[in-house]
Structure 1
Amino acid sequence: MSRNEDSLSARPGWFLKRKSEAIFRQMESMHRLATTEALRSLDHVDLTLKLELVDNIRSNFELTQNRLEEEDPDELDTDARQQFLNIFISVKGAITRELQSNRLDSHLHSTTRNFSPQDSQSVVVLKQPKSCLPELKLPTFRGNYSDWPQFFSMFRTIIDREAELTKVEKLQHLRSCLADAALDTIKSLEIRESNYDKALELLNNRFDNKRLIFQAHIRELFGLESVEGKVATNLRRLTDKFLSHIRALQTLGSIEQLADSLLIHIVMQKLDSTTQNMWEEKVSSNELPTWEGMALFLEKR
């Protein structure tokens, strides 16, 4: 054994690392062969078997990568899983689309037969393929409270409600579109099915906070740069930004609630840090605070 091989074998999980890379290359090979022309040359049975093979390769990779990360935690910081998932989705999507097209063609051919009088009352309904819409892409959520409602709504629509995705795949998608403080919230969770719901719970508990979302919008709203001297070039952009914050605030509560929250936000800036912390501990994260509650708190304080 050479010195390089000795050095490699001394690393934790070196065998699992090589096995993971071999499985990755296997999926890459499937990807190269999954061209439109090649798939169209296969019949329904061959396509079904190829789809099963792709799923088996993914299962083997998940098992191997999980064991590798347990032995070598540094693997958690690599993008090996995301790269594999991207290729897997591309291959499985291509095969699935060809299977659906294959079934549709079979139905179309079967409806060209001569109809008997008994068939005259029947109606053949074919499921039309989806139109070619542009692919929806999730934005990156970094932990800004004002971005959370829109991000989570899009994630639920595109990923969470997709029945064909496993929870492991959904968790992979979730991790791939998080960064900074948002990613730190769930980074310690292993990639496994049982941790998907846990990840959503952790993110909701931290970022689905109406009061902090409101404060984030207010800070951004009043932190807009001056338009003095830049009216011609910046007024439209600043107006759009201003209106977007106003629309976002309107989704959090009524005019009265927003007015109370704005007044509370202004008063909070004048309070000492101890009083601010006491107020933060007192109020609910799921509802906007009222001025009546703030006034009562200040009187007691």
Structure 2
Amino acid sequence: MFGIFKLSFAREPLDSEVERQDKFYRIIIKAEAVVLAAANTSNDFSNDSSVLSVKETYAVPQIRLPLLDIPIFSSLYEDWTPYKEVFTAIIDKNTPTDDVHKLYYLRQSLKGGIAAKITNAVDLSSHSYKYAWDSLVSRFQNERVIFERHIKAIFDQQNIERESSSSLRHLLLDNTTVHLKALSALKQPIEH
């Protein structure tokens, strides 16, 4: 009725478990395609209980990514923007995570300073996360202060003690460029 198809289960040398799983899922996908094609071509058997229906779809497993570390914020204004972006992406916008867990992660990511004091001042409850996060944002999302801190860091760099290419590279690439890129991210003019 549906045609005969053969799936070969002959023993072939496989190098790893990943290859075995890959082959298994390819076979499942092929079998599913044959069943779906047969079901689509024979609509007159749709009420027949002998026609198979596929209730689950099998997908090839995706690559497992390494666990992400929660960033640490030490209450320095110049570190706020990268911290906020990463924390927002990993924790704040993670909708399956409830607010109590978000507040716990927020507290764990703050080491010392006023930021830790702000979050430790609220109870560990679901309604406190939004208040604590909004308090941090209103305190540290101050572009004028962030701008001033980056400018100050550029002008307060240590003098080069000994003339060498590594000292110059450290001064220009490691220090100055970081602050210039941060100013550029704040949409501040850095040319000339």
By the TM > 0.5 criterion, same fold? yes
- For the aligned residue pairs, the C-alpha RMSD in angstroms reads 3.2
2:118 corresponds in structure 1 to 185
Identity of aligned residues (%): 28
Structure 1 position 224, deviation (Å): 1.4
TM-superposition CA deviations, 1:206-235 (whole Å, max 9, x none): 100001001111111111111230534333
TM-superposition CA deviations, 1:257-293 (whole Å, max 9, x none): x79xxxxxxxxxxxxxxxxxxxxxxxxxxxxxxxxxx
1:83 corresponds in structure 2 to none
| Matches of 1:128 and 1:198, distance apart in 2 | 42
Structure having the larger proportion of residues in helix: 1
Within 5 Å, which residues of 2 pair with 1:198-237?
Answer: 198-229=131-162, 231-237=164-170
- Note if 1:247 corresponds to 2:168: no
CA contact (8 A) 1:185 1:202 kept: yes
- 1:173 aligned to which of 99, 105, 122: 105
Within 5 Å, which residues of 2 pair with 1:73-84?
Answer: none
2:79 corresponds in structure 1 to 147
Which amino acid in the other structure matches residue 159 of structure 2?
Answer: S
CA contact (8 A) 1:141 1:148 kept: yes
| Matches of 1:203 and 1:174, distance apart in 2 | 10
More off after superposition, 125-134 vs 186-195: 125-134
Structure 1 position 251, deviation (Å): 2.0
| Matches of 1:217 and 1:198, distance apart in 2 | 28
| Matches of 2:147 and 2:188, distance apart in 1 | 12
More off after superposition, 170-179 vs 225-234: 225-234
Give me the TM-score of the superposition, normalised by structure 2. 0.67
Could you tell me which runs of 5 or more consecutive residues in structure 2 were left unpaired when the two chains were aligned: 1-23, 43-53
Within 5 Å, which residues of 2 pair with 1:43-122?
Answer: 112=31, 115=35, 117-119=38-40
Structure 1 position 120, deviation (Å): 6.1
Give the number of aligned pairs.
152
2:13 corresponds in structure 1 to none
**Which structure has the larger Rg?**
2
| Matches of 1:109 and 1:126, distance apart in 2 | 7
